[in-house]
Amino acid sequence: MSIAHASGYTAVDSVEDPAALATFMDIVATCRGIDTGRRLVAEQLGLGPGSSLLDLGCGTGEQTRALATRVAPGGRAVGVDLSQSMIGEARRRAGGAGVAVEFEVGDAQALPFADGTFDACRSERMLTHVPDPRAALAEMVRVCRPGGRVAVLDADSESMIVDSDDRRLARQVVASFADSLQNGRIGRQLARLMTDAGLTVLTVEPHIISFPHDVTAVLLDTHLRRMVADGALSDEMSSAWLTEVIDRAASPVYMTLFAVVGVRERDLPA
Ligand SMILES: C[S@@+](CC[C@H](N)C(=O)[O-])C[C@H]1O[C@@H](n2cnc3c(N)ncnc32)[C@H](O)[C@@H]1O
C-alpha cells in the first residue's frame, strides 16, 4: 500500500488520501507491543460504570469504543480528533458497534470542554503530531477533574532499531525520520512534560513495538522518498538500503512506545 508520509497525521484532511492513513493505523494497531501499552493504560485510567472518558486524537475511535464498555452503564466515552475524515470514519464504525460513544472534531490544543469535565483523559500516538504538545497536555489536565487520571501512549521515533550493515546511513535515516515529525522524541519527554503540566506521574512504562517487514516497507519507503527528493540520499542508496532492511526477515524494526499515566492531584500551575 502507499500512504502519505507519517507527518501527514498532523493534518490528515490535507493529505491526498486520508483513508489510507486510517487503514495504516489499523495495520499498526496489530503490531506487537501496541496491545500491551493499551492494556496498561486501560487498567490505570480508573474507569468504571458511570465514568466519563476523553480519548484525544481518537482517530477511527478503536480505543474509544473499546473503553466505552468499561464506563457502561451510565458513563460517557468521547472521542475527539482534529480530522473530519477520521471522525467520520469513527462514527461510521461506531454505528453497528452497540456501544454508546460520542465523536467530535476538535483541536487538542484548544478543547471545547469546561474545566474538570472528565474523570479520565487518554491520548495515543497523537502528541507526536501536535505542534504544541505542552498546550495539548495543559488542555488534557484542564478538562480532567482533580483526582482524575491522564494517560498518554506515545512513541519515541528516534528509538527506531534497524538491523543494517550501513550503520551510518541507518543513523541518518532514523534521526531524519524523527526530525520529520512534529515531536519525534516525545516518548522520552513525556514524564517530564506531564509533570510540568501539573500531574503527579504514577507510571512510566516503555513498551517495544515490533514492525513486521510489510509495515516497515510502507513506513520507511515514504520517508526515504522524501530524503531522496531533498537531496539527502541517492535513489540507488535508498533502494539498496530499504531492500537490505526488508530482506532481513528475521529482524523486524523496533520502536519504543511509552505509556505514562498521571493523576491530577494539585491545583493547576498558575
Ligand atoms: C497516529 S493517529 C492515532 C489515532 C488513535 N489515537 C489510535 O491510536 O489509533 C494520530 C491521530 O491524531 C490526530 N491529531 C493530530 N493532531 C491533532 C490535534 N491537534 N488535535 C486532535 N487530534 C489530532 C490525527 O488526526 C490522527 O487521527
Closest C-alpha residue for ligand 1 atom 17: 82
Tell me what percent of the residues of the chain surpass a pLDDT of 70.
Answer: 98
Q: What are phi and psi of 176, to 5 degrees?
A: -70, -35
- Is the Cβ atom of 86 under 6 angstroms away from ligand 1? yes
Computed over every residue of the chain, the mean pLDDT equals 95
Closest C-alpha residue for ligand 1 atom 24: 9
Model confidence at 2, pLDDT cuts 50, 70, 90, reads confident
Q: What are phi and psi of 18, to 5 degrees?
A: -60, -30
- Is the Cβ atom of 138 under 6 angstroms away from ligand 1? no
Q: What's the average model confidence in pLDDT over 209-226? A: 92
Q: What's the average model confidence in pLDDT over 249-257? A: 93
Expressed in angstroms and rounded, the spacing between residue 168 Cα and the centre of ligand 1 is: 32
Helix, strand, coil percentages (3-state) for the chain, rounded to 5, are 45, 25, 30
Whole-number pLDDT of residue 192: 98
Q: What's the average model confidence in pLDDT over 147-173? A: 97
Expressed in angstroms and rounded, the spacing between residue 81 Cα and the centre of ligand 1 is: 6
| Short-list 184, 186, 204, 197, CA closest to 134 | 197
Tell me what percent of the residues of the chain surpass a pLDDT of 90.
Answer: 91
- Is the Cβ atom of 126 under 6 angstroms away from ligand 1? yes
Q: For a substitution probing ligand 1, which of 64, 126, 143, 153 has the most ligand atoms within 8 Å of its CB?
A: 126
Query: Cell numbers of 215, please?
Result: 509495515
Cell numbers 464498555 correspond to: 69
Model confidence at 100, pLDDT cuts 50, 70, 90, reads confident
- Is the Cβ atom of 152 under 6 angstroms away from ligand 1? no
Q: What is the pTM of this model?
A: 0.96
- Is the Cβ atom of 221 under 6 angstroms away from ligand 1? no
Q: Which atom of ligand 1 is nearest to the CA of 12?
A: 25
Which secondary structure element, helix H or strand E, spans residue 68, and what is its range? helix 62-71
The yes-or-no verdict on residue 263 having pLDDT over 70 is yes
Whole-number pLDDT of residue 97: 74
- Is the Cβ atom of 12 under 6 angstroms away from ligand 1? yes
Q: How far apart are alpha carbons 232 and 245 in whole angstroms?
A: 19
User: Counting beta carbons within 10 angstroms of the beta carbon of residue 181, is it exposed (0 to 12), middle (13 to 18) or buried (19 or more)?
Assistant: buried
Query: What value, to the nearest 5°, has the Cα angle with vertex 18 and ends 12 and 23?
Result: 115
Peptide bond into 252 cis (omega under 30): no
Q: For a substitution probing ligand 1, which of 7, 60, 129 has the most ligand atoms within 8 Å of its CB?
A: 129
Q: What's the average model confidence in pLDDT over 219-244? A: 95
Three-class SS of 115-171:
CCCEEEEEEECCHHHCCCHHHHHHHHHHHEEEEEEEEEEEEEEEEEECCCCCHHHHH
Query: Cell numbers of 191, please?
Result: 514524564
Q: What's the average model confidence in pLDDT over 200-227? A: 94
Q: How far apart are alpha carbons 46 and 34 in whole angstroms?
A: 20
More confident residue, 4 or 183: 183
Whole-number pLDDT of residue 268: 58
Expressed in angstroms and rounded, the spacing between residue 181 Cα and the centre of ligand 1 is: 13
Closest C-alpha residue for ligand 1 atom 13: 57
Answer for the pair 260, 151: CB distance below 8 angstroms, yes or no.
Answer: yes
The yes-or-no verdict on residue 270 having pLDDT over 60 is no
Whole-number pLDDT of residue 269: 56
Q: Which atom of ligand 1 is nearest to the CA of 86?
A: 27
10-19: list long-range contacts, CB under 8 Å, 24+ apart: 10/129, 10/130, 10/131, 10/182, 11/82, 11/83, 12/82, 12/83, 12/85, 12/86, 13/82, 13/83, 13/84, 13/85, 18/83, 18/85, 18/86, 19/85, 19/89
The yes-or-no verdict on residue 53 having pLDDT over 90 is yes
